[in-house]
Structure 1
Amino acid sequence: MSVPPLPELLAGAHVVAVPMRVPFRGVRVREALLLEGPRGWGEFAPFLEYGPAEASRWLAAGVEAAWGSWPEPVRDTVPVNATVPAVTADEVPGVLARFPGCTTAKVKVAERGQPAAADVDRVAAVRSALGRTGRIRVDANGGWGVEEAAQVLGRLAPYDLEYAEQPCASVEELRDLRLVLGRRGLDVPVAADESIRKASDPLRVRDLGAADVVVVKVAPLGGVRRALEVVQACGLPAVVSSALDTSVGMAAGVALAAALPDLPYACGLGTVALLGGDVTPERMEPVDGALPVRRVAADPELLERWAAPPDRVAWWRERLAAAHAHLTGDPA
């Protein structure tokens, strides 16, 4: 679809700064620029360190939501997992309580400055809380080398892991880790996340046999339709995840999960529960472990309540302009 002119985007832009309930990957306040278009609301919220090229894909996703359309859904609800940040073991029950009805939990591991023992304690606490039938997946965000990943996953394997998400940074390391785990008799499937959403060629994961599962996020891949194409081309089971979106952005992730022909895993779309506020009174939070498939409209009062300071508004508007220039090839 065509990208609207920059003045049209800026006319419907609102910048918010929402506090996190607990820090998540170093984020304490989640900033986002929301776009109001003729088809509804979209979200532009690339993480602060991303440059214009990477941010332009997030803009394409926001434009698709507010000016375009999403594929037709094949299901009315989407099962979601709880997300457990790198908290202490005694904080785990309180975090899981924010995800009512969820029987799958994604646990952050390999947090910088924390020992592997902290990961083991956190996963053990999640297993204790979920019981034997609950599902646990861990996410290292590429924080381990191959040998360290194999060693720590060997310690975590007794807790019956569903899979390990992005245990190593590169596609080649993921491939090598799968071989090492197989040789050591460790039945821990490997999922690729950053190797899909941050790669110039996300299909290398498929070509190198680097993963058993792909994790896809709408915004980093440029929209629901583009993400659906990537999943279909990879030919692997997919988990749809979020990027600390507000409910506006979360609706796009749910739209992707609802359009997938097969959905064998719970999706990582419950992270609105980690936010201390939202832009709509009808937050996209799980009920009985699932989210409904629907559009979300931002509420004017909540946009005002969480409005970012003027200097941050100016920063985000400049960032939107830079991403728009990269997306359209128009420096003006």
Structure 2
Amino acid sequence: MPSPDETTPPSGLNPGGVEELLDVARVVSLRMRVKFRGITKREALLFPGPLGWAEFCPFPEYGDAEASRWLAAAVEAGWQGFPEPLRDSIPVNATVPAIEAVQVPDILARFGRVDAVKVKVAEPGQTLDKDAARVAAVRAVLPDAAIRVDANGGWDVAGAVEALTRLAAVGLEYAEQPVPDIAGLAEVRRRLRSSGVPVLIAADESVRKEEDPLKVARAGAADLIVVKVAPLGGVRRALRIVAQAGLPAVVSSALDTSVGIRAGLALAAALPELPYACGLGTVSLLAADVTRDSLVPDDGSIRLRDVAVDPGLLDEFAAPPARRDWWLDRLRRTYAVLAAGPPATSMP
């Protein structure tokens, strides 16, 4: 029997194959309010499915195999829909990029009232002094908020212990991915505990980039996990990973438009427990969106609802032809990986 190719979708994919997606795909380029993850524009490919709009926007540096999980999540959103929700309002945190401390009040003002803030730290080229000033500025604006920091694996073990010991002075809820690998996370966690530093460790990239995301739990490397719908292959797969990990979960975004945020809200709404505010308020970091009624926080939370994509905004923010072609070619390649089956869509 021949192996499936990009034009013969297996069970679970859209019935019309990749051509169905290519026919309706729209590519947008949205300006960032401030630089985030080193980018000033966020590009995304969107397409409508029978059950709603879907978004495919893996970062450009990701290979086709990793990007195929993002496509699986998009197809789920458009053709399978989401699980039944257990709640209709999701608490969210504000997100502060690796900006100068003086800019912090303006960024926080865009989020309205919030009870939790995630602060980016360990940005390449920046110092611990700048990180400490940024975190202190957040505490000055929001003296009672829960503050978590996100290093995106930017420290080594010794640097993480030094930084978190210093940053803990303002009170940290947890530190997200302080070092790149699972063994390092476990060692940072051990050293902090032995020193009496009360900072929990959250795993993000170590959950979604490992072939086996459950290694984090088995290694005792984290107190909680950060889960993102697109990199994990969809809401249902993310729910299974959380259940098997047996750790508290925080749902976060991947710098999505409101279409992608809708999928993140679906995951947060379906989790049996939601002990932490979620990182789903990031549309506020974009200078534009694909809907005129963006999914942004209101009084510290986002209400679960569907997104009405505006055709006029798709036209206004359409990516240049060369970038559109780049994304369509990526869609073809990634669909071929996805149609071939595991490991991209398999459950560990």
TM above 0.5, yes or no, is yes
2:236 aligns with: 225
Contact 1:251 1:284 in 2 (8 A): yes
Q: Among residues 64, 83, 91, which one is paired with 1:52 in the alignment?
A: 64
Q: Among residues 116, 121, 127, which one is paired with 1:115 in the alignment?
A: 127
Q: How far has the Cα of 1:3 moved from its partner?
A: 1.4
In structure 2, runs of 5+ residues without a counterpart are: 1-10, 342-348
Separation in 2 of the partners of 1:198 and 1:80? Answer: 24
Q: How far has the Cα of 1:316 moved from its partner?
A: 0.2
Per-residue CA deviations over 1:101-146 (Å, capped at 9, x if unaligned) read: 1121000000111110000000000001101x21100000000111
Q: How far has the Cα of 1:182 moved from its partner?
A: 1.0
Count of equivalent residues:
329
Q: Please identify, of 173-182 and 289-298, the stretch whose mean Cα deviation from structure 2 is larger.
A: 289-298
Q: CA RMSD in A?
A: 0.9
Equivalent residue runs for 1:1-332 within 5 Å: 2-4=12-14, 5-131=17-143, 133-329=144-340
Structure 1 residue runs of 4 or more that deviate by more than 3 Å after TM superposition = none
Separation in 2 of the partners of 1:36 and 1:46? Answer: 18
SS at match of 2:131: helix
Report % sequence identity.
Answer: 59
Separation in 2 of the partners of 1:103 and 1:3? Answer: 39
Contact 1:34 1:41 in 2 (8 A): yes
Q: How far has the Cα of 1:222 moved from its partner?
A: 0.3
Separation in 1 of the partners of 2:12 and 2:197? Answer: 48
In structure 1, runs of 5+ residues without a counterpart are: none
Separation in 2 of the partners of 1:59 and 1:22? Answer: 27
Contact 1:9 1:35 in 2 (8 A): yes
Per-residue CA deviations over 1:218-253 (Å, capped at 9, x if unaligned) read: 000000110111111111110000000000000000
Q: How far has the Cα of 1:297 moved from its partner?
A: 2.7
TM-score (norm 1): 0.98
Contact 1:108 1:138 in 2 (8 A): yes
The residue type equivalent to 1:229 in the other structure is: R
Separation in 2 of the partners of 1:212 and 1:12? Answer: 42
Separation in 2 of the partners of 1:320 and 1:295? Answer: 24
The residue type equivalent to 1:288 in the other structure is: D
SS at match of 1:23: strand
Q: How far has the Cα of 1:35 moved from its partner?
A: 1.4
SS at match of 2:95: strand
